[in-house]
A and B are shown apart, each in its own frame.
Chain A
Amino acid sequence: MRKGMVIDLKRCIGCFACQIACKAEHGTRPGTLWARVIKREYGAFPNVRRVSLPLLCMHCRKGPCLEVCPTGATRKRPDGIVTIDADKCVGCRYCMMVCPYGSRHYQDDAHTCFPGQGPNPYEAVAYAEHPTGVVEKCDFCVERVDRGLDPACVVNCPTRARTFGDLHDRDSEVSRLIDERGAFRLREELESCPSVFYLPP
């Protein structure tokens, strides 16, 4: 069993719904984006292409974060999902120095969405699960996965660009998509072995 995700860049329209779905599901603080979308422009006028590239934690099989964490707060579950134990993290941010994908986030101060106003009712509930002073990141929605659901970004994507499943299962949708369409991973040469695959635009 190895959990993985496939993101179809042909279907993706760069609408940022995944960024907000994750934000709303987990209630991350302002400035912290576990799921985010970057835009890359190629070519020169008039032959220009732009690609929207959704990013999240790649849940690498051989992630450098797993090596460098001095406390063991960052660990990998048997199903491949990489998690951070907020009770063990000391906030040294070494993992943030070695992650090639910028997937890790840290905040010192307890910011709220509306400066000077304190947390609103949603934030009062949400931020209880986001202590400051520790590193946090996308966790493939482990709480949903453990209940048999797919991650929030996957379930919500308006164009059904995201698929989640077992990479080791040859009949799973993720395996089928990778095999039929051909896929790529980011920074493959760094050999961290990400679990997130992209289908070409």
Chain B
Amino acid sequence: MASMSGSEDVWIPSVCGMCPDQCGILVHRVDGVVTKIEGNPQSPLGRGRLCARGLAGIQLLYDPHRLDQPLRRGNPEKGIGVDPRWQPMSWDEALEAVVERLKRVRAEDPRRLLLCGTPVSPGPLAFAQSVFLPAFGSPNAFICDEHMLSRNVYPDPDFCEYVLVFGADCISGAIAERMADARVRGMRVVAVEPFLSPAAEKADEWLPIRPGSEGALACAMLNLLLNEYRLFDAEYIRRHTDGSYLVRPDGAYARDAASGKPLVWDAAAGCARPFDDEGGDVAIEGTYAVEGQECRPVFDLLRETVRTWTPEAAAEATTIPAETIRRIAREFGEAARIGSTVTIDGHELPLRPAAAVGGRDGALPAALAIALLNEVVGAGDVPGGLLGFSPVSFGHPQTGLPRWALGTDGDGLLQADVLPYNESDGPPTGWPIASECRPEVLVDYGSNLLMSVAGPERCLEAFKDCFVISVSLFSDETAEALADIVLPDASYLERLDPLPNLPRQQPAAGLGDWVYQLRQPAVPPLSERRLSSEVLLEIGERLGLADAMNARANDLYGLRPPYALNAEQRYSWEEMADRIYQSWFGPERGLAWFRQSGVLTWPKRLEEAYWRPFGQGRVPLRHERLPRPGEEVQRRPQIGFDLQAVSYQVPWHSASDTCENPWLDEVSQSEPYSYFICLNPRTAAARGIADGDPVWVESTAGRRVQGRARLTEGVHPEAVAIAGSGGHWARGMPVARGQGAFFNALLSFDPGMEPACDARVRVYKE
């Protein structure tokens, strides 16, 4: 649009906040109005191009339904569908109320404060979780995130030639252009998933699979590779996994009596020795006597574990024909070109141009099996293989910061010590939190948790007796059902966030540049919105936590003198940001420099891009957690509930509040699948369902969602595919309200079980 002949026409470098990818943007502001957002060509994240979400940020900024002032709940009743009868309050009143409550909690037991956050904006979340919360004295945080083992992993866009994708979306986002380059140069994509999703559309081959059986396919492939085809990278297994560690009959590592280190069998010497001794001929197969016990290397046990997964057993579990499973396993194994090398910058590195990318819908055992496919052919973090976020950074050439390195534990196993905030170590142990205290105050930090977790009714039950504070952009489902106080947050276009893309959000894959950016406001927070981080600073001050928060901030951001925050001093948010940047990148690259330039990049070193061949640190093969042929029967369709609902990502939505964005809502309306419940035509015909019919999808958890049926050949006959971001019911989000179907309502969350991301359902006409 041509700029008006006015006094101002500027382009402001900043960072997108519509999804976790944090691409660099340029925001066009003309006479105080944001009129366009474009990608920042200087940023390796996006390279000057933006997805549909990033471009649509303008409508998030100017949505008239945005929260503009703090609100108090007028209706004492809480519940889904209840009218909260919001009463506007001033910031002073709101902060008073919040502080007063938190003071009481802190005096009694600070652990009763629970923070629930969202990974869409990792920078702000880190401040809340790793600065405010510990200063307050609570360890209790829950992040509504996608399933583990499938985030931020990609096939190497520069060298991969064969990628097996299990429902993950590795074709859009910040890496879209490089993935397109890879496809054009000939990288073959095989997509294994129940629905022909936008990601699977680009595959050379779509293998429709019975929902929930991905682990069976991966295990059968492991069986074929390890036992029948004998296509595995023995050297890699010896060096980079615990595959050679000897395991006793009781399941524990056999350990050296003197050092306590795990033992391996040296076939040349004919005896066991500690794993980190050099030389010899280390065995990864066979049975060996150690101190009178029959021990086997972990790899040997893995081979045996997967032996039960014959192609025929997997065919029965997955509905993929056994010949296809054999073919795919052979293709994958041969594509990995075990033993080959490539020379980059004068270094000869292993080349394994095959990758298996984990399914976001898979339960842990399945995800593990898929991850192991990469490990056994030696394709983990080497050229051509599966690449993830790099745990090795030598820092900026001038300052050497930020710096992190691989850590290993006493057993030589890899320790990733780089995330500035703690992700849960394993599956959540229950819901509500099964600790010795119950939460009294819940802070919903932009998470809209009622829509972000499985089983919203259970979530409601767990928290309706809490004092709930929502820090949010909209009066969303969680605010309306649960919140006592709502604080209006500033959107990404109205805020300053230093290091918005914390180390996790780098162009994860392989060669390229490191990138550090600044998010700065294109406009000051409109109306009475306030930046949530500043609100936390204020609350912290009033609670007497400021000293502790300064100390915590020093920890989180690695601030050293002269940039470290002094305990008694008070710093504005800008001052903190300035110190952070100067501390990491030098005095001349403080906040002012980043305001001007927006983006700092420097080339990755080879050891940062492909860290595995250069580093120590082994991955445990964890064979005991793989799925077994009998087990997955309990995940099969049940009587009366003969279908399985699965969700999938679409590249123009992220989390759930993008459905409120009229431009993105319009995309979903103009596209045939994402607002519908997708069924195979034969499945639909058997139930008398025609295209467009209103239907119910009911799960064994006793919940049901409404929607309209879309008949498509691109879905497995046993699957019901629902794009994972619809079904809003909040009055405060009228554009989103009623659009699409709410998938998460179908899920059940049973303490003690692996969280499942699909649900047994039945479908019938309304």
Contact = CB atoms under 8 A, between A and B. Distances in A.
A132 interface: no
B201 A156 contact: no
B184 A13 contact: no
Interface residues of B, number: 62
B441 interface: no
A30 B669 CA distance: 11
B58 A17 contact: no
Contacts of B65: 114, 117
Contact of A156 (B49, B58, B664): B49
Contacts of B35: 27, 122, 125-126
- Give the contact-size bracket for chain A: 35 or more
B30 interface: yes
B37 A16 contact: no
A110 B667 CA distance: 20
Interface string A12-48: 0111110111011111001101001101010111101
Given A117-B64, A122-B62, A17 B55 contact: yes
Nearest to A11: B180
A172 interface: no
A157 B49 CA distance: 6
B714 to A, nearest CB: 5
Interface string B61-97: 1111100000000000000000000000000000000
A15 B176 contact: yes
Interface stretch (A63-71, A84-92, A93-101, A158-166): A158-166
Contact of B52 (A20, A25, A31): A20
B680 interface: yes
Interface string A118-157: 0011111110010000000000000100000000000111
A49 B664 CA distance: 25
Given A114-B735, A143-B2, A14 B55 contact: no
Contacts of A115: 734
Interface string B30-68: 100111111100000010111110011011011111000
Given A16-B651, A16-B667, A51-B201, A159 B52 contact: no
A175 interface: no
A113 interface: yes
B258 interface: no
A166 B464 CA distance: 64
Most buried by A among B48, B64, B179: B64
A158 B385 CA distance: 23
B189 to A, nearest CB: 11
Contacts of B445: none
A10 B201 CA distance: 10
Given A122-B62, A158-B49, A27 B1 contact: yes
Given A46-B208, A125-B35, A158-B172, 15 more contacts: A13-B176, A13-B201, A15-B51, A17-B51, A17-B652, A19-B670, A24-B55, A27-B35, A45-B716, A48-B196, A113-B662, A114-B65, A122-B34, A160-B49, A161-B180
